[in-house]
Amino acid sequence: MKTPTLPEISGLPAEVWEQTPVLVQALVVALYARVGELAASNEKLEQRIRDLEVRLNQNSSNTSKPPSSDPWWKNTNKKKEKSGKKPGGQPGHPGHRRPIVSVEKVDDVFPHFPEQCEHCGDALCAENNVAEDPERLQVSELPIVKVIVTEHQLHRRKCHSCGKISKAKPPAEIGDSAFGPRMQAEIVHLTANCKLPRRGIVRYAAESWGVDISLGSIHAVEQKAADALEEPYAQALVAVRQASVRNLDETGWPQKNKTGWLWTAVCAIATVFMIAPTRGSAAFKAFLGDALSFGYIVTDRYKGYNPVEMARRGICHAHLKRDFVKISQLGGPMCTLGPALSFLHREVFVLWHRFKSQEIERAAFDAALAPLKRDMRSLLEQGARSDYKKIAGMCSDILRHWQAIWNFTVIEGLEPTNNAAERAHRQAVKWRKTSFGTRSAGGSRFVERMLTVAETCRQNGCNVLDYLVRTITAATKGQPPPRLIPLPPPAA
């Protein structure tokens, strides 16, 4: 039997190996090879366990999941020690009362006078005996809603000349719907802004308004509203495309039981939504069009935004913060990398808030920021060389976006987070949870335009329902809709 080659076993001299029987040598070599296989398999299993534990521990602090998705039984917030005080406002706490409505807006006033002294019991006369201004107690109440039904009778008349019968035409201002502009606006307002399902609207209309409405009628009203909002939607899209800074984000939105995506773009005066079948850069380019060639865009690090050069991008630091937490939870030999990055990141924003509050000047801010950036980059470069692929991949990706990450410190108006777009998404996500997406192109257009109008109205301090009433009324009369984006004030 051929003598087996000496394995690389620490502490085993060659002369001892030569004195070992050949059969024992063969057994040692086989066992040593098996141990190597088991060690490699064990390493893979340990890595898999670490990956599964990371997935199990995913929450809003280390991923893009919303806080509402965190399991309540895993709440890690430390419980505060009981203070022994009663619940509610404490003595000395300034109260917050409902503001009193001005007299001009009050519908009815009922004066009340005391008839007997509460101290001595004598009768109080009513003439010229008012000591001071009265205490005003106001009660708000809803009137009983009574729907006004207007009937238009279209009579027919026979012509004496030709003998044919002609029927009167309905007035142009009533349109072709069985519901008036205000009721149509209320219906779409309940659907899009109050997130009430269509069957819920049917019940609400019957119980609150005393009106029977079918599901098909609600769908027809939605489509009419979508048509009426076409021009306001275009106005908002132009405003976003022309803005110097925009925040962009995307979230899932099923269409026809297939995967779809809802894109959101936010600027200072408008918010626009677009539903697309893909999440790729083609949809992103179609959304902003030629606007990709100028201005700045704040996003996360999703690769679909790569068509925009890093010099004109801002990266969301809220995502970056969660990534550093995730790195710290991956464990392994790089277990100190995540906490170190999180510490430096916190120091950056302590410095940033001091600069924004004008506590320090620009020169001092730049001087203090430079070493923090240098140390953070050094740590990320170490992580990019890690044997742990997930850590190496995350650190390498952050380094690829290095310039965009710090653009907020030098470009005026560029925010360090993408919170504006994510806040706008919140309303869309609530709607998606009750509607499960859309089933037609018309339904998608309704969602896009209603979300756009609602968020843009709120940005500009406009009442959403009032705007819907005016827009649908104008569409019924064949008139142009009111402006959604306010005109800039004239130059002085």
Q: What is the 3-state secondary structure (H, E, C) of the chain?
A: CCCCCCCCCCCCCHHHHHHCCHHHHHHHHHHHHHHHHHHHHHHHHHHHHHHHHHHHCCCCCCCCCCHHHCCHHHCCCCCCCCCCCCCCCCCCCCCCCCCCCCHHHCCCCCCCCCCECCCCCCECCCCCCCCCCCCCCCCCCCCCCCCCCCCCCCCEEECCCCCCEEECCCCHHHCCCCCCHHHHHHHHHHHHHCCCCHHHHHHHHHHHHCCCCCHHHHHHHHHHHHHHCHHHHHHHHHHHHHCCEEEEEEEECCECCECCEEEEEECCCCEEEEEECCCCHHHHHHHHHHHHHCCEEEECCCHHHCCCCHHHEEECHHHHHHHHHHHHHHCHHHCCHHHHHHHHHHHHHHHHHHHHCCCCCHHHHHHHHHHHHHHHHHHHHHHHCCCCHHHHHHHHHHHHCHHHHCHHHCCCCCCCCCHHHHHHHHHHHHHHHHHCCECCHHHHHHHHHHHHHHHHHHHCCCCHHHHHHHHHHHHHCCCCCCCCCCCCCCCC
Q: How confident is the model at residue 492 (pLDDT cuts 50, 70, 90)?
A: very low
Choice between 251 and 89, residue whose per-residue pLDDT is larger: 251
Q: What is the dihedral of CA 231, 237, 239, 242, to 10 degrees?
A: -130
Interval 16-54: pLDDT, tens: 777 777 777 778 778 878 888 888 888 888 778 877 877
What are the phi and psi torsion angles at 37 (to 5°)? -65, -45
Residue 191 has pLDDT above 60, yes or no: yes
Asked if 234 contacts 389 with a C-beta cutoff of 8 angstroms, the reply is no
* Least confident window among 74-78, 186-190, 350-354: 74-78
Q: Exposed, middle or buried, 195 (CB in 10 Å: 0-12/13-18/19+)?
A: middle
Interval 91-127: pLDDT, tens: 777 777 778 888 888 888 888 888 888 888 788 776 6
Residue 309 has pLDDT above 80, yes or no: yes
Q: How confident is the model at residue 264 (pLDDT cuts 50, 70, 90)?
A: very high
What are the phi and psi torsion angles at 167 (to 5°)? -110, 140
**What is the per-residue pLDDT for 401?**
92
pLDDT averaged over every residue in the chain: 84
Q: What is the pTM of this model?
A: 0.76
Average pLDDT over residues 264-288: 88
Choice between 271 and 10, residue whose per-residue pLDDT is larger: 271
Residue 73 has pLDDT above 60, yes or no: no
Query: Token pair 């100028």 is at which residue?
Result: 294
